[in-house]
Structure 1
Amino acid sequence: MTTYRIGVIGLGQRIAHMLAAMQEVGWNLDLAGYVDPAPVGRPILEAAGIPMGRSFPTPAELMKGGPFDLLMLGAPNHLHFEHLAFALDQGAPIFAEKPIVRTEAETEALAGRLAATGAPPIYVGLVMRSLPIVQEVLARIDGGDLGELVSIDATEHLPPEHGGYLARNWRRRQEWGGSYLLDKVVHDFDVFGRMVGARPARVASFGGRRIFTAERADPPRTWEDGSAAYALRDAGWAGANDAFQSDMDVTDHQVAIVEYANDVRLSFHANSHTSLTERRWYAAGTEGTLIADLVRNKLMVRRALFRGRPEKIEYGGVTADAHNGADQAMAQDLLAALEGRAAFPVSPYESMEAGLTVMAIDRAMEGRQVVDCGPMWARYDAARSGVGEQRLADEVL
C-alpha cells in the first residue's frame, strides 16, 4: 500500500479531523511536517494516534523537508489565498479547506492563476458533496425524478453550543473568516448551484446580530441540569472567552433569496442559536418533490401525482457534529482522486462560484438592495480566461 507523505500548512481542528478520518478509512499516511506556531489540532491527532511530524517555521522551510504527496491547507480563511498561491508553485496535489478563498478579489486572482497551465490539482473540503444522501439528491434531480426543478426552500439552524463556538472562534471576525454564511453555509450553496445547474442572477438578503450581543448582559449560562453552556469546545486560535462579550462582527442569523439564471428560485434561513436543530433542503419540481434532512440523515421523495406513501431512505450513521460520516466519505473520495480511480466530487471552480454566490448575498444584505450578479460573473469569467491575471494577483498580494 502506498504511503502518502503529507505536509500541512495550518494544523487547525478541521485539518486534524480530516487526517483522523483519512487514517480511519485506511490511508497509510505520514504527517511528515507542518507549519503552525500553535497547532490547535494537536489533541485531535493525539487522540487518533497520529504522530505530529516535524514543525517548520515557514511554508518555504516546510518544502525543504519534502517532497510531499499531498499539501493540506487549513489556516484561517484570510490566509487561504496566500497559502494557495504558494502551494500552486510547489507542484504537489493540494487539499484546501473551504471556503477556497475569502473575497471577490481573491477569487478573481485565483481563477486567473488556475487559467495558467501546469497547476496541480486542488481538492476543496466541501465535505457535504461526499455524503451519500447528497449524492442521492443530485442523482434524483439529474435523473428527472422531480421533473424540472422550480424552487428550493432550505435551512441551517445550529444548536446553542455550535453558535457559541462560532461567536468565540476566529470565525467571528470578517477580517479572518469572511462572513458567517461564507464560512458555515458555502457547503449548501455549492450543492444548490449543482442542483439548479445555473448561476444566480439576482440575490437579496437580510440579517444581523440579535443573539450573541453585549446587550444581552445576563443570558442563561447553564443547561437545565446545571452544566455550563457555551463552553463545549476550545475556541482555538485568537479565541474569545465569552460568546456574548466578544468582538464578533458577523451575523448570527440571516435569510436570503436567490433567483437563478434559469428561473429556479431559492429561499434560505440560517440561525446560529436554536433548540430544534435543522439542516433541510425542500426541492420542488414539476413532477415531484424531495426533502433532504441533513441532520437526521433522511431523504423523502414523492411524485406529484401519487397519493401513496412517499419513498423514505434512512442513511443512519448520525453523529453529534451532524457530519454523519462525511469526513470519512471525503477521505475516501480524496484517496480515489489521488489514485486516479475517480474524479473528486467538486472542482475548485465550483467552489469559487459557491463562494461568489455567498459574497453577493452578503453584499445585498450590507447594501440593503437586490444585487444583480451579472457584473460579478463577468469579472470572474474574464479572470478565469486569463484576462488581467497578473494585475489581480498583484492587487491581492
Structure 2
Amino acid sequence: MNEKLLQYLWNFKIFKSFDFKDVAGNELEILNFGKWNFDSGPDFLFAKIKTGNIVLAGNIELHVKSSDWIFHQHAGNPEFENLILHAVYIHDIEIDDFKNKNIPTLELKDYIDENLLWKYETLLKENQFIPCSALFTPKAVPFNFLEETLLKKLDEKSIEIEAALKRNKNNYEAVLFQNIAYAFGLKVNAQIFRQMAEHVDFSVYNKIRQNPVQLEALLFGMSGWLDKPEDDEMKIWKREFDFLQAKYNLSPVRFHPKFSKLRPPNFPTLRLSQLASLYHRNQNLFSKLMAAKNITSIYEFFESVKASSYWDNRFNFGKESPVNGKKFLTKDFIDLILINAILPLKYTYHKNTDENTAEDILEFYRHIAPEKNTIIDGWRALNMNAENALESQALLFQYKNFCERKDCLNCGIGFRLLQKDK
C-alpha cells in the first residue's frame, strides 16, 4: 500500500463496504468524501462526515500509517487546522493532536479488498509490455475509450499548433509547411527538416514554388549539399541557390540532414525533393486540405508527387544506383503525413467553428490503415488489434502517456481493472 493508491481508493470510493467505524468503535458515516486536493494541505477538501449525532464539515487527511502524521510534520501546520477525519490504512499509534480535538481516526485496512491490492502490485511488476499485461483483456477497455484517447492527443497537438501559429503571425500556410516538413523528415530528420522550414520565411517558398528547380535548390543548399557540387546537374542547383541566397539575403547556416539508420527510399535527398514537388504541384495547399471532405480527396494531392528525374537512378548525389524508376510517395508514407501533420492541423483549424469537427476528424482516421511498429505488435499480442489509424494512434498515445510511466491510477483501463470484482 502507498499513499497515492489510498487516495485513489478514497476518491473513487472503492471499498468492500461503507459501514465505517472509527478506531474507538464509533459509527462513522461519510456524507461527502471531499474534493481531491493536488496542492499543499489536506488530501481531501470540503468533506462532510457524521459521527454520533454530529455532522462535521471540513478536510480529510489520508496516510498509510497513523504515525505518518508525525513523520510528515503536519502538527502545528495551519493548513491542517480544519481537519475532521484522519483516514489511515493501518492505525499504529495514537495521535495526541486528534485525541485532544476529538478528531476521529478511520482505519481502512479491513474495508479494502486484498485482491485489489494484489492487482495493484501486479501492475508494478517489471519486464512487462504494459504494467497490466497479466491482467489485461480487451473487455477492460471502456466504451469509446480509443476515440476519447485520440481526441486527447489531438487536443495536446492543438496546443503546439496554436503556439506555432502565434510564432508565425497566424499564418496557417506556414505552419502547415513546417508540420509537413517535420513529417517528411521521419524520426531521424524530423527536427532538422522543421528547422529548415522555419529558417526561411514561408513567403520565400511561396514565391518560388512555381519553379521546382529553385525549390529543390533552396532545400538542398540549406542542407549543405551544394557547397561542393559533384556533377553538372548539381551545379544547376548550386547556381540557383546562390541566386536565392543573394536575392533574399539568406543566412549561411547549414543543417546537414542525416542518412544513418535510414533505408535508401527514406534518404533526406529524396524526401526533400518530394517535398519540393508537393509544393510545386499544389498552390494554396492549406485551403485545399481544409476544404477536403473525405480521405480520398486528400490522397489526390499526394498521388502525383515524386522526386525529380535526377533521382530516378540515384538515392544520393553523384552515385548512380542499379534501382531505376520514378520515386513516388508510397501510400504508407502519405498516411504518415496525414496522421502526423495534416489531420491535427485540420482539427485545430475547424474545432472552434464547427461542432462536428471531432467526429469528422475521427472518421478520417478510421479510413487510414493502422501504423506498423513494435508497440502496435505488443498490443496485438494482448489481443488488442488496431484495425485503423484511429485505434493505432490511440494505443500509441496510451502507451506513451500512461503505460510507459506506469500511471495506472490515472488510466481508464487501470481504473476498470482496479474495480471490485463483480
TM-score of the superposed pair, with normalisation by structure 2: 0.22
Question: Using CA pairs below 8 Å that are at least 6 residues apart, which structure has the higher relative contact order?
Answer: 1
More helix by share: 2
TM-score of the superposed pair, with normalisation by structure 1: 0.23
Larger Rg: 2
